[in-house]
Amino acid sequence: MNQNNHPTDEPVEEIENEESLQYSFETIKLATDNFSEGNKIGEGGFGAGYKGRLSNGQDIAVKRLSMGSTQGDLEFINEVMLVAKLQHRNLVRLFGFSLEGSEKLLIYEFVQNANPRKRANLDWDRRYKIIGGMARGLLYLHEDSHLRIIHRDLKTSNILLDEEMNPKISDFGTAKLFVIDQTQGNTNRVVGT
C-alpha cells in the first residue's frame, strides 16, 4: 500500500509467490487461438500483443515478448512480481506471466476500447478528465507506488480508454525501475511488458 492513500488508488493485494501469477503456456496458447492473426491487437518493440479469453470467460491481453530478449528467466520473474503489485485505476493491470523455454508471455487485463462514437465526441470536460487520469497514473508510478517507475514511452497509443472513457496507461516496455533514492537510472534495469 502506498503511503499517500489517494482515493483513486486500489488496495494492493499481497502476492504470495510466483506460482500465484504463473499461467501455463498451453492455457495462453488456447486462450489466444494459438496466437492467431485474428487475435493480434498490436506490435511493439518488445513483442506482439494478442487478445485472449480464458476458460472462465475472462478477456485478457497477452504480450508475447520477442525471442531475442537478453533478460534471464529469474530477472524476468522478479520484475513481473514487482510490477504485478502496481495497482491503480489508471494503469493497465498485470495479471501474471507464462515462461516456457524461450517463450516469455505477460498477461494483462484486457481494456475494451471506448465506442468510436464516444471518442469522436470528446468535449473539453471529458478531455480534462482523461488528462487528469493520466496524470494520476503517472504520479502513482513516479511518487506514490512502492516502486519508482519512469515510463519513458508515453504516447497516445499507450493510453487506452475503457468503455467509460477512463484512461489506463499501458506498455511499460521501456519503463525504468529506480531505487527510491536513486537519481540516475541504470540502463540495464528495464522493467518490461
144 shares a domain with 78: no
Confidence of residue 32 (pLDDT cuts 50, 70, 90): very high
Q: What confidence score (pLDDT) does residue 92 get?
A: 92
Structural domain includes residue 6: no
Q: What confidence score (pLDDT) does residue 150 get?
A: 79
Q: What confidence score (pLDDT) does residue 2 get?
A: 36
Q: What domain range includes position 156?
A: 116-191
User: Comparing C-alpha atoms, which of 24, 190, 14, 10 is closest to residue 107?
Assistant: 24
Q: Average pLDDT, stretch 160-184?
A: 69
SS (H, E, C) 19-57: HHCECCHHHHHHHCCCCCHHHEEEEECCEEEEEEECCCC
Structural domain includes residue 120: yes
170 shares a domain with 136: yes
Number of domain units in the chain: 2
25-39, 71-85, 97-111, 137-151, range with the lowest pLDDT: 71-85
Can you tell me which residue has the cell 493485494?
13
User: Comparing C-alpha atoms, which of 175, 24, 156 is closest to residue 86?
Assistant: 175
d(CA 165, CA 118): 8
Structural domain includes residue 73: yes
104 shares a domain with 30: yes
Q: Is-above-0.85 flag for pTM?
A: no
Structural domain includes residue 9: no
Structural domain includes residue 53: yes
47-51, 110-114, 144-148, 188-192, range with the lowest pLDDT: 188-192
CATH number at residue 80: 3.30.200.20
**Mind telling me the catalytic residues?**
153
93 shares a domain with 32: yes
